[in-house]
Structure 1
Amino acid sequence: MKIRITAFIFFLGFLSFYNAQSITGKISNDHQIATPYAEIILKKDKITKSAISDEHGNFTVQLPENGMYQLNILLDGNIVYSESLNLNGNINKVFTVKKMYAGQIQEVKLTARKKVIERKVDRMIFNVENSIASQGMSTLDALRNTPLVRIQNDNISIVGKNGVSLMINDKIVNLSGTELINFIQSLRSDNVSKIEVITTPPSKYEAQGNSGIINIVLKKNTNLGWSGNFSTSYVRRSENGYSNNATLNYQNQKLNSSLKLRQYDNRKRSSEVNSIESFNSLFSDDQRLDMNKGIGINVSTEYQLSDKSKVGFIYDFGDGDQNMDIRNISEYKTSAKTDSLLSTYAEHRQKSKTHMMNLYYDYKIDSLGRKLSFNVNYFANDPTNEINFVTTNRTSQLSDRYRSFNGTKYKVWSAQSDLTLPLRWATVETGLKLSIFDNKSDLRYYKIDDVPIILPGGTNLFNYYESNYAAYFSAEKKISDQWTAKAGLRYEYSVIDGESPLTAEREKYKYGQLFPTAYVAYKPNNDNVFTISYSRRINRPFFRALNPNRWYTNPYTFAKGNPLLRPSYNNNIDFGYSFKSKLNLSLYYQRTSNAFSQLVTYVNTIKTIDYANMYNENNIGIDASYYDTFFKIWEVNVTANAYHTKSVNTIPQIVGQKSFNFYYSINNTVSIGSSKNVQLFMNYSQMLPSTFGNYRSDGYSMLNIGGKLSLMDKKMQINVFVEDVFKKAISQGQSVYADFIMKNRNYYDLRSFNISVNYSFGNSKVNGANRNINFDEKNRAK
């Protein structure tokens, strides 16, 4: 029945294809070079319609009635083409601009009309190419300058959101952690047109996660040939770290390809101090050496089959080691008396090889913007994690040796089709998606005397299978020059099957949910924009949170997953306001139901770290950002987030918390010299004490300072900066349980000295095949 409904939606879209009344065209100069970002204005009596040509010079203007229209084309605010058109049905033609030449047109960016910050109906846009502070650096550094985006400890997030998906050209980047940071750092900001911050994702995107989306839109080009860049960086924390990235691009009339290589070898020292305070108490001190290294290769090829169709293939391979050496001291007490004092030395050795493949096909149905696309994805990862540890009881001086081995196999498939239909009454998007997860885990836990002996309960297998079926429909309508509306509905149906063959335990269930989205934007004039949006989302558990296998850190402490864990749901309402594209305000409300998190229990000196659906939470707050340039050299970006949160526990083991929370950041960039080849920056951020769930954070602060030097006509950039100058980015707080308080004080070696060099060669305007694929499910394989 659901398939028939979706097919009927497609059929209605195709019927409406013939009802469109519009003027469609392409703008080029007299050398037949496309003219991007030109402004097209059509006037008839009291009717005024406008559009901006895309990167290829194409545009479409929907018109309410036939008749005689005056057409004007503007570049950089100047009229470069004018014509009277008698519209009687659809028009499709090429407009040749003869008043500007090829060399001139390539330099046109409409900087006088294109603002640094723009507010759209469903997103905020940061035009990187117009930002002084964001030129001549890596895209990772440009993200640091983007309003509402926060980067801390190699984690990218949106202020007010508990997660983020990162896309390039509307396609999800299928990397995570250190590899994602290295990949983004390898991209130059000079090749980035804009960064879109989507706090309320439309129904086209996965409903998974109460996260926002950051979409990096790369510049398009008409130049052919070779290009590339090489970057190398050094970071000094308590230990040394290195990374290297190289990119080679080639483009001709039909073929667009890219080869990316990455390598990293980072070491740092981390400290995790935890205590459980009750009548029976525990103090634990971990001093850890993290050793992460790896290599990766990404091959992208896109071939233009015709003017209307193209096919592409992407393969990405990563080979990484995530190793840790941990020295732990654990003290167990009854009242004030020490029962035992244990010291443990553990060696964690995790190896991981990932393979990701994608095949896609895009077909432009016509010049009006109707298009059809297909994507097929495959992801595989076979990580192995071996832990060897020796625990010594300092009272008895007896030592025991243990070994834990966990092998996991992740396999994820997905297939998706999308159809875009610009119709007379609205622009329609609709599509279907199928995702399949097939994950297996094998646990072995030994005590080693003369020979390894498997301990009771130390062997387990866990097989997990999940299939998701999704269909969506959305429509966007520009009601007038002042009003724009967009609405969508996504349906997702999931089948879950998890089993432990050795224990004969099995959890199998099915569920289906609707996820609506709605947006309205009102623009009374060029200085003010008002928006309102609503969305419903789901947060499905990741594989490790479901896996009941145990991960031991010493004989009395282990972590495991919960196969009975269920998804949580979020409802989000957002009221936005933008003034002169400099000041942006957002008043929001978020309701989280059935939220899950880590649950710690401490019984008979055994500490267990598990997962459970624990609480419901309400957040109401306001985001504010201000972006401006003073004296043409000083660029300022201020972001603030104030909100009140209240968590109500749904299980008796925890105590929900409530508080008023406040976060702010101030980024300053000053350019020196007429060519602005030298830039200095100072960025400061602070989170005041806050809460979520049953956790109370003491807050943190961070100061980063540095500078950038551009050489060789800005083909080479040298960046030097110090992060967390005063070593204040400490994660400290307490989790409140019914029977005890668990405190933590963690520091992950954030204070660092960083230096990087990026050199570009060849034709710098060739971006290569930088398309990435919408493969959200891969992020849950962890």
Structure 2
Amino acid sequence: MKINRNIFILSVLLLLTLHTVVGQEKTFSIEGTVTDQTTKKVIQQGFVELFKASDSSLVSFQNTNENGRYTIRSVSKGSYFMRVSHPEYAVLNKETFLINNHFTNLDFSLSVKSYELDAVILDTRNPVAEMEGDKLKVYVNRIPGIEGNDSFELLGKLPGVWTEGDDAIKLNGSANVTILINGQRQGFRNSQDIDLLKSISAENIERVEIISGGSAKYDATGGSIINVITKSKKYDGIYIGLSNDLIINEEVSNSHDLFFNATKGNFTASLSAGYGNIYNYYNETGTAFYRKESNNETKQDYTLDYNGKKKTLNFYGNLNYKIDRENMVALIFSSNSNKNNLHVQQNSVYSGASNFQLDFNNDKNIKDNLTNASFIYEHSVDTTGIQFKAKIGYLDGFIKEQQDFNNEYTFASPPADSLASGTANIPLNGSQYIGKIDFELPLDPIKLEMGTKYTDSEIDNFVTYFNELPEGTVLDTSRSDSLTYKENVFAAYALVRFKFNSFSAQAGARLEHTDNSSSYISTQTVAENSYTNILPNVALSYKGKNISSTLKFTSGITRPDYIYLNPYRYYINEFEFREGNPNLKPLKRNTVSLETNISDFLSISMGYHRYNDQIFVVKRQLDNGLQTLSRPENAASLNDFFANVSVYFSLLNNRWNGQLSLYGETYNYDIDPAFITDEEDLDNFTYFTFRFDNSYKLFENLKVYNRFSYRSNSNFYQIYQQNRWRLDLGVTLSMLDNKMKITAGIDDIFDSYDYNNRTFYDEFEKSYSRDLPLQRFRLSLSYDLNLGWKKATNNLNDDDTDETGRFKN
């Protein structure tokens, strides 16, 4: 592991040397005036943006002053394009031009927005989604029915994305997804990032960027990238968003969120805080067969009640300060705390070869916290894209879980290995250090990006079980265990981007070397693994006036979760337990995909995933009895073909807006013969999802919305799921010039979204129906407050030198 650290230090020194060598270049200036096309009056607070023509990256931006003037300095020789906007005017795009003079004068005239719309509107000035190279940008304010939603619910309305339950998310059929907030990951696991997203209202999100299959620039593990960008003010001032939600069914859940964004001169701050008091419960009935179709067959009929109460408290902060034209620092921090109280009661009747009744009760009290802090320093040699960025990050977290369990048998004696009655303490502590360097060098017409990253992680998990016996509470040494898991990852990448007219291309590779070790007290052993992966990524893009498309090949890995590596037994109920596998290998993925966006109203994606060493939690019966072991294994490879079509529309003079998404997938498993537990696992499978979101404006301040979603029957390894669907209806009332919104609605109005599943393996089969409490009344109140300072942001383009003083107003 010292080798990894030494390689990282050497890589950093190399990038610093390269940064110093190329950091000198002559620069130029652009200035001009922005006026009203009709009245010829100057436009104050206009927003002027400068983009690099080679890769469409943002070079600089500035607000016009009280005289309608702007000045952008320190621009290197090269090709650029510009965009000028203002809330009351149509966006104006300046086509590609060349900078090679000391200073260039560019004046712009804007036309007032027109609200006369045809019967069908495809508004390309304000698209719902647009492609930029290998990235799909989705603008949240154009998505219908987001009022009252949190940011995780918002993700379920994006092209190719499907969300399920509290923390399950897939993009183009793959669960290998990394969630970023403003370009940074906040947790060890996606579930922690999702908890943070639930504390941010969807209306406080500006856009979401999707990079299907990922990129050499990002961590190889996690696959596709979903980057959630929060709102920020382009002008000096303060924005405050308040959101309060009630969810009412058998219980009353509530959540309250505050979002704050302020810009003053060179300082920008984004802060959010959220509190929630959430109830989660369901009823389940089912039938299981052990040793099915044998002389020893046993049938189990059961009912299960699950009741949970969760309290959450979340904070997120992003502070940026631009020291001067060349230097910027940022501090990003977050804290996510949860307190869960869960009660599970299962009543079972066993008949056949084994005849008895069992009442199982389990109470869990779980407290967890994850705190993350990152410091970022960015140095720009000039404003054309030569950049050096350094990041130091630290994460620290814990989980404290206590279980109380009790089994009561009727007509039978407890098995020898019975949990009977007792408690379990399952604490976990973890920390992670991150060092990261990125470097960008534009060499017209190409752009070179490279970087290195080092991650040092450690997790301690000490588990103790106690049995309640007549003689008192006794430590159960056969079930108690301890794990210390350490992981070091060194990564380096290089990426080349090229643009020629309407075409662009990028090619790169990422190298990742991983060392990990797992130490166990019970066996006094240490398991060590080490592996190196080189992962190529290639993309070819075309962007025309009405169509943009990207064809790409991406590759990645997914390292096993530390929970999957921990060999201790975690008891789910009397006869089922889970244990980890310290010998797991990382999953390897290759993806070929084609993504197309037409006239900013139609998004199409299709492709093929190949997964090798796919990790499944394999279930087996032990000793041909009633006990089931769940253990993660590299059980199979997977061939997966997918396609997604999303259509955005605006009809009836912009009163009816919506989106329709259809996703389909066909796949099959290449299963290791050792893990074929049923012939059904070898079939070819197909499933699809359909989603329709729309809103209709009844009056200027009143609109109704509905959402219909459907998921077809689907087969997965050892699991069969029946189709399910739901319909949500609601209404939104806007008041105080759209600053306050009240949303009321009913989710799952027909109470139709239940789980009807079947599990099968090793002469075992279980069918069950889970009645989820998704039929509920939802009430949301949100309020937006904008406070502005008079002086516009100058973005450090004013200085007191003689050369530039004449351009000041």
Report the TM-score, using the length of structure 2 for normalisation.
Answer: 0.82
SS of residue paired to 2:444: coil
* CA offset digits 1:493-548 (Å, max 9, x no partner): 0001011023123211211001111111134x422333211111111111111111
**The 10-residue stretch of structure 1 (553-562 or 461-470) with the greater mean CA deviation from structure 2:** 553-562
The amino acid that maps onto 1:580 is S
- Aligned equivalent of 2:666: 644
In structure 1, what is the Cα distance between the partners aligned to 2:789 and 2:608?
43
Contact 1:591-1:617 within 8 A present in 2 as well: yes
- Aligned equivalent of 1:328: 346
- Aligned equivalent of 2:798: none
Change (3 A) 1:260 1:96: same
The amino acid that maps onto 1:366 is D
The amino acid that maps onto 1:484 is S
Identity of aligned residues (%): 17
SS of residue paired to 1:172: coil
- Aligned equivalent of 1:581: 600
Change (3 A) 1:160 1:260: same
SS of residue paired to 2:393: strand
- Aligned equivalent of 1:298: 316
Contact 2:204-2:230 within 8 A present in 1 as well: yes
| 1:72-91 correspondence runs (5 A) | 90-91=100-101
In structure 2, what is the Cα distance between the partners aligned to 1:641 and 1:750?
23
- Aligned equivalent of 1:413: 433
SS of residue paired to 1:382: strand
Residue among 627, 634, 648 paired with 1:627: 648
Q: Does 1:374 align with 2:396?
A: no
In structure 2, what is the Cα distance between the partners aligned to 1:197 and 1:349?
37
In structure 2, what is the Cα distance between the partners aligned to 1:93 and 1:143?
44
- Aligned equivalent of 2:279: 267
Contact 1:51-1:61 within 8 A present in 2 as well: no
Residue among 196, 199, 203 paired with 2:212: 199
Change (3 A) 1:14 1:563: same
SS of residue paired to 1:297: strand
- Aligned equivalent of 2:479: 458
**The 10-residue stretch of structure 1 (492-501 or 731-740) with the greater mean CA deviation from structure 2:** 731-740
* CA offset digits 1:476-507 (Å, max 9, x no partner): 111222x1111121100000101102312321
Residue among 486, 496, 499 paired with 1:478: 499
Contact 1:496-1:508 within 8 A present in 2 as well: yes
* CA offset digits 1:239-268 (Å, max 9, x no partner): 221111223444422433344322111112
Residue among 551, 568, 571 paired with 1:532: 551
Change (3 A) 1:119 1:113: same
**The 10-residue stretch of structure 1 (342-351 or 547-556) with the greater mean CA deviation from structure 2:** 547-556
In structure 2, what is the Cα distance between the partners aligned to 1:518 and 1:630?
39
Tell me by how many angstroms 1:295 deviates: 1.9
Change (3 A) 1:53 1:511: closer
- Aligned equivalent of 1:346: 362
In structure 2, what is the Cα distance between the partners aligned to 1:34 and 1:26?
15
In structure 1, what is the Cα distance between the partners aligned to 2:709 and 2:642?
18
SS of residue paired to 1:154: coil
In structure 1, what is the Cα distance between the partners aligned to 2:564 and 2:748?
32
- Aligned equivalent of 2:634: 613
* CA offset digits 1:657-700 (Å, max 9, x no partner): 42122111111211222x3x222111111111122334332222
Q: Does 1:469 align with 2:490?
A: yes
Tell me by how many angstroms 1:447 deviates: 1.2
In structure 2, what is the Cα distance between the partners aligned to 1:384 and 1:561?
19
- Aligned equivalent of 1:107: none
Q: Does 1:721 align with 2:732?
A: no
Tell me by how many angstroms 1:609 deviates: 1.9
- Aligned equivalent of 1:567: 586
- Aligned equivalent of 2:715: 691
**The 10-residue stretch of structure 1 (119-128 or 433-442) with the greater mean CA deviation from structure 2:** 119-128
The amino acid that maps onto 2:658 is V
Contact 1:420-1:430 within 8 A present in 2 as well: yes
* CA offset digits 1:139-172 (Å, max 9, x no partner): 5565454333333323444342214322233223
Aligned length in residues: 740
Change (3 A) 1:148 1:709: farther
Contact 1:19-1:423 within 8 A present in 2 as well: no
In structure 2, what is the Cα distance between the partners aligned to 1:476 and 1:649?
39
- Aligned equivalent of 1:490: 510
Q: Does 1:548 align with 2:567?
A: yes
In structure 2, what is the Cα distance between the partners aligned to 1:536 and 1:224?
42
SS of residue paired to 1:171: coil
Q: Does 1:751 align with 2:775?
A: yes
Contact 1:36-1:53 within 8 A present in 2 as well: no
Change (3 A) 1:665 1:738: same
Contact 1:434-1:467 within 8 A present in 2 as well: yes
- Aligned equivalent of 1:775: none
| 1:194-343 correspondence runs (5 A) | 194-210=207-223, 212-273=224-285, 275-277=288-290, 278=292, 279=294, 280-281=297-298, 283=300, 284-333=302-351, 336-343=352-359
Q: Does 1:358 align with 2:374?
A: yes
Unmatched runs of 5 consecutive residues or more in structure 2: 1-5, 36-41, 64-71, 114-121, 791-809
Tell me by how many angstroms 1:633 deviates: 1.3
- Aligned equivalent of 2:159: 147
SS of residue paired to 1:652: helix
**The 10-residue stretch of structure 1 (286-295 or 240-249) with the greater mean CA deviation from structure 2:** 240-249
In structure 1, what is the Cα distance between the partners aligned to 2:60 and 2:536?
29
Task: Note the aligned Cα RMSD (angstroms).
Answer: 3.7
Tell me by how many angstroms 1:234 deviates: 0.8
Tell me by how many angstroms 1:458 deviates: 1.9
In structure 2, what is the Cα distance between the partners aligned to 1:708 and 1:538?
44
The amino acid that maps onto 2:565 is L
Contact 2:343-2:361 within 8 A present in 1 as well: yes
Change (3 A) 1:709 1:37: farther
Contact 1:28-1:35 within 8 A present in 2 as well: no
Report the TM-score, using the length of structure 1 for normalisation.
Answer: 0.85
Tell me by how many angstroms 1:198 deviates: 1.8
Change (3 A) 1:39 1:320: closer
Residue among 526, 542, 545 paired with 1:506: 526
Tell me by how many angstroms 1:64 deviates: 8.1
The amino acid that maps onto 1:199 is S
In structure 1, what is the Cα distance between the partners aligned to 2:463 and 2:359?
24
